[in-house]
Amino acid sequence: MARTRTARTTKATTLAEKAKAQQTITVKDLTILEELESLLPFQLSEETEELKDSIKKEGVRDPFVLWERDGKKILVDGHHRRKSMIELGLEDTAIPFTYREFSDLEEVIFWMRKNQLARRNLSKDQVSYLRGMLYNEEKGSIAGLKKVDGQNVRSENVAQKIAAESGVNEKTVRRDGKFAEHIQALAEIDPGIKEDILSKNSKIRKSDVEKLATSVKELPKEEAKEVLAKARAGNKTKKPAKKAEVATDPTKKIKKDLSTIFRNLISRVETLDESEEDLKTSFEETQQRLWENLVALKAAKKS
């Protein structure tokens, strides 16, 4: 019988007996599982340096979260802190820690995703990516399934549940799932592009990620890497130049672009399927495009 979400809810425990039995733990005592470490989406270089500075000045403030299984102390939360301590030569320094109980690895992964989403210093794109990963993993797990006439049927709407917990609508969660899928596909070609996309000063806009993933999907790997390298450098792929046309109205293309901008904006507002943050981003991008086109239109009329 499949577990329900209630049954999968993690129980937080301090397990004082274990803490007393092992009075000191260092990062050398921790077991690192690749499947958990790979879940860490990003830590920008500036964030790494800030963490190191904090550890040097104040030590490790937040306790490492451990899961004891088969006598091993498996690290669940604190991978970046552990790496920073090793780089600082603090492998033998005692660390603060706490234990949590999980029924299996799947439950650990789900807890890690939700814990990452609770971080306060995330950008909108980082939140979107983490929420998308949470949705994709939960959607693909067997935990939300039940048997009906011998068939596996989902017992709850995963998108609806995550949307309610996150304060967004279901369509936003599903779009986040696609966003996360596209980033993962691009990262398989060029692992470094994930950090570039999710950086707070990214040169790759969220709206361009799907186009980028589609454009390299059928390309040979080396050619795809070149396309992604240009994108990371901030260069958009150029289309082959068209033959020169007889000059007519210099404002024609600008007016056409303006018309397209307004149609797209009206369409997005009428569907009302975006979160407040997504709509705000759409309006900001539209405002910039409008201004650029209006400036160009004014210049074209003067010429």
Residue matched to tokens 């397209």: 260
Cα-only R_g, the chain? 24
Q: Alpha carbon 264 to chain centroid distance?
A: 26
State the Cα–Cα distance between residues 129 and 110, nearest whole angstrom: 15
CB atoms within 10 A of CB 101: 12
Of 171, 169, 198, the C-alpha closest to 182 is: 198
Q: Determine the Cα–Cα distance for residues 204 and 206; give it in Å rounded to an integer.
A: 7
pLDDT of residue 98: 92
CATH for the 5-104 domain, from 1.10.10.10, 3.90.1530.10, 3.40.50.11900, 2.40.37.10 = 3.90.1530.10
Please say whether the dihedral angle defined by the alpha carbons of residues 37, 43, 49 and 53, taken in this order, is positive or negative.
negative
Tell me the per-residue pLDDT of 222-272, one tens digit each, with 9 for 90 and over.
999 999 988 888 755 444 444 444 445 666 666 666 666 666 666 555 555
For the record, the structure tokens of 133 come out as 């990963």
pTM of the complete model beyond 0.85: no
Alpha-carbon torsion angle 295, 253, 270, 202, nearest 10 = -60
Check whether 2 has a pLDDT greater than 60.
no
pLDDT in tens, 268-283: 555 555 556 666 666 6
Q: Which residue has the higher pLDDT, 90 or 147?
A: 90
Which residue has 């899961």 as its token pair?
Answer: 67
How many CB atoms within 10 Å of residue 176?
28
Q: Which of 134, 138, 131 lies closest to 275 in space, CA to CA? A: 131
